[in-house]
Structure 1
Amino acid sequence: MAEKKTGIDQALIRDLANILNETDLTEIEVEQDALRIRVSRAGMPMMAMPQMAYQAQPAPVAVAPVIAAEPVRNLANAVTAPMVGTVYLSPAPGSRPFIEVGSIVKEGQTLLIIEAMKTMNQIPAPRSGKVVEILTEDSRPVEYGEALVIIE
């Protein structure tokens, strides 16, 4: 029989908080079986309003973004996803990735591929520079506007 997890998956919460930061969303919610996690962050200060909603089911866990000892990312130099799809970091399974952290790229050079509606779309570098961070993983779904790579 499957063993039931006790406690909250802190790695999942950190991942959700990172998604909030990378995509400029203010809230994200994930539900799996009987567990529902909602991560939100405060936007501009607003007048506080008491919440009067009560639920018969267990209340979702609201967690502020986790502050870790990670360097602050400068997303001003990020290459973002121009479409929703699945990202691939190499031209074929098992082959060498298009780029790695530290790679020097030229404007127009293919950084990665996003598959959308069974079409492989090469995503070119918008400018020349050095790849300082890759913010996605191979074969992972991406959203429109999601930061994928940082080029400085």
Structure 2
Amino acid sequence: MKVQEIRELIKLVDQSSIDEFVYEEDGAKIQMKKRAGVTYVQQEPVSVQPAASLQPAAAQAAAPKEQAAVEKASTEAAQEKAETSNTDSALHKITSPMVGTFYQSPSPDADPYVKVGSKVQKNTVVCIIEAMKLFNEIEAEVDGEIVEVLVKDGQLVEYGQPLFLVKTE
């Protein structure tokens, strides 16, 4: 099976509603699993106030202060999240086009293709992904500087998994 056919299979499985796919041919086996869908449940805070006659006067005076502190903390958290997402959005993620093994260099005794601080161009090879005994060179896709290497040499990577963060020029 050719790499392009594998990529097409990955895209089809990714776009479908199936969670797992297995294909066997001539002793070769391809198995794909989607990450289990995570369901997020957001619960709205419910404020239950006891009757005013049951609350001491000091507690009644403190309640608005506590509410203001909670609102301030949630506003600060939202601002921090926005700042983090702004810095992340300024960085380009080089992602894995396939499932395979990540290699930083062309051979075990060679220097890595790139490291943090390396300048890259669109056609600069940044790593190799080995899939089914085929070594596929992965290019940077953008001009910029490597800010972070997100995977370790020899690590198994998934389709679409971020490999590098690049500060674009």
TM-score normalised by L of structure 2? 0.49
| 2:127 alignment partner in structure 1 | 112
Q: Could you list the structure 1 runs, at least 4 aligned residues long, displaced by more than 4 angstroms after superposition.
A: none
Per-residue CA shift, 1:19-56, capped at 9, x if unaligned? Answer: xxxxxx677xxxxxxxxxxxxx7635379xxxxxxxxx
| 1:45 alignment partner in structure 2 | 42
| 1:121 alignment partner in structure 2 | 136
1:74 aligned counterpart, secondary structure? helix
Which consecutive residues of structure 1, in runs of 5 or more, have no partner in the other structure?
1-24, 28-40, 48-71
Per-residue CA shift, 1:94-116, capped at 9, x if unaligned? Answer: 21000010000011110000000
Which consecutive residues of structure 2, in runs of 5 or more, have no partner in the other structure?
1-34, 45-83
RMSD (CA atoms) = 2.7
Instruction: Tell me, in whole angstroms, the C-alpha distance in 1 between the residues paired with 2:107 and 2:142.
Output: 24
Q: 1:79 to 1:44 in 2, by over 3 A?
A: farther
Per-residue CA shift, 1:111-143, capped at 9, x if unaligned? Answer: 000000100000001111000000000011000
Specify the structure having the higher radius of gyration (Cα): 2
Q: Is 1:96 aligned to 2:111, yes or no?
A: yes
Give the AA of the match of 1:145. G
1:121 aligned counterpart, secondary structure? strand
Which among 121, 125, 133 is matched to residue 148 of structure 2? 133
Q: What percentage of aligned pairs have identical amino acids?
A: 37
TM-score normalised by L of structure 1? 0.54
Instruction: Tell me, in whole angstroms, the C-alpha distance in 2 between the residues paired with 1:144 and 1:46.
Output: 33
Shift of 1:77: 1.2
The answer to whether the 8 Å contact 1:87/1:137 transfers is yes
Instruction: Tell me, in whole angstroms, the C-alpha distance in 2 between the residues paired with 1:126 and 1:109.
Output: 8
The answer to whether the 8 Å contact 1:80/1:145 transfers is yes
Give the AA of the match of 2:163. L
| 2:160 alignment partner in structure 1 | 145
2:97 aligned counterpart, secondary structure? coil
Structure with the higher fraction of residues in helix conformation = 2
